Structure 1
């Protein structure tokens, strides 16, 4: 069996799919989305595809080595996302060849279902929406998440801290003592103000404070973990085992690599294994589409130290528009806040190829991008 084609499909600013075809008719799909950088990642995949055309798709780890280290310059969000999409597609082919789900090839399931969490989106200037949080818990979710209202100053005002405390108190009241909420600080907060916020909200018992620091300040995270009892989570903007070393040694509780960014299934499985040695659990980052989520679910089932799986797409029913590119959308429908273990081969999903080709946007060259925030004095503020 030989690889004959590597194709990319841009479905939006947060959805770039990869299809690897073979001369025996087997094909695999992956998600190489790097938010708001579709054209850049597509170009990287095109350049990397020369390592794959004409090759046997089955030795996935050997391909990962060549894709990741075959160029003198490597790493970073763009190249790691391109490798991730190709890696997922290769695992999908491997699973289909052996007629087994990826999690079975990784050692078999460690659980029967995958715990989900999603976002309790807040109105402007609020951290979370208590009513949405309550609705999610009533639907079976045992964990929800909200993002801190921003922008946040380097050492923000007492009024900001008081508002943050009020919002988290309302979230705790909404979900009750039998469920959890995490708070995403989104890299908006300095290490100094993060300690202040952690102290102020510890009584509300958040499940975690996520990404309190920008990724370039990862080496400083131990200053925060040592100063609070609130668990710290991070990792969505870290792309390799090596980049996770400082935060693992710094005492985080939850690692959040994104399989669509951090080198795919191959690398995230190894990150999870390394994290287990630090008593750290895995909660893969996934603000993307169903292919990325399916890859996450395969990892979630295979690793012992799994915590919870993020999603932002609508998983309430098989009729969800967010699942429209699947021929078997029911496998990703949430049941009491969980996804039941998929048993189909590869990633466990079947792609409607005609729907993907029809949705492709080849001219999406000027994406909208992130919101651009400024402080009152006009200076740049982290979104």
Structure 2
């Protein structure tokens, strides 16, 4: 077995792990990055694409925002739609903050290039990852590399950025953690289409048949969603049926607006859940991103919460490992969870307001809530403040 040492072992090479490794490198902190998938798979995962104002600022300040600045699309707000009405919620005029459309695949690519340029060690396609001695001063991580060689890396800290199914959170003893969660009785059928967006900003639509959303990935690629049952079979949704449902739910023909169909290149059913694991620290293990929390995508919070986690964590670990100051590390879980629960509540609120349950009473409550949001400046400002993003240190 090969034995080595580093300051931080980061498990997971998604945006959270990659960004943490980059921020630590800028602070002079060494890390080893472990990922069970191949680089091509990681780079190609289609995930979130809406970035909060604070996320964009952080990526720019960290020196990985140049391409985002050139190719990302700044949006001042979103449209809220219900039958025969479409209203623009202007974030910039309400709270002075915008959001940006820039796909997670693009962020991942930017961060992978930054990791490579830093020259710090990365292992992809690893297996049998196990965490050891987390409650002591010298934890370690063992794994088998892509060539079948076993490794043991001793470190000062382990960062679990390995998602909901990764080993980091599961290493914490049951009695030392508590989980909160909710499974939603609906899912999204998400499609990518090679067609220019039919809208300048995202449309969130409540419709008696179910929620629909028109998003985008670039000026030539649209991302669209339909509310479906969690056990929906994608094979039951040929392209024509998808475009017909989207046209009805998004109000095709209303006030002259038209939905432009195109070639669909990807279809998938996305289950929806809320999940929070507390605390986000156990001994020398710190959790970040989906390893600690999952939100439904309605509020565009998943990636942004992960970015906020690692922004806090990088500062805490730099203070701990460079200066011997444990205060930020000791406060990390409580500080991160305050923002996590705010994002969890907002995501639940948006989801509950926009998704059809089949109960006529729920439908009337949702219509009342939507009308309040679009007619009350204070309600619209609350939505705008949460969607565009609270400060990272909230």
TM-score, with length taken from structure 1: 0.25
TM-score, with length taken from structure 2: 0.24
Bigger-Rg structure (1/2) = 2
Query: Of Structure 1 and Structure 2, which has the larger fraction of its residues in strand?
Result: 2
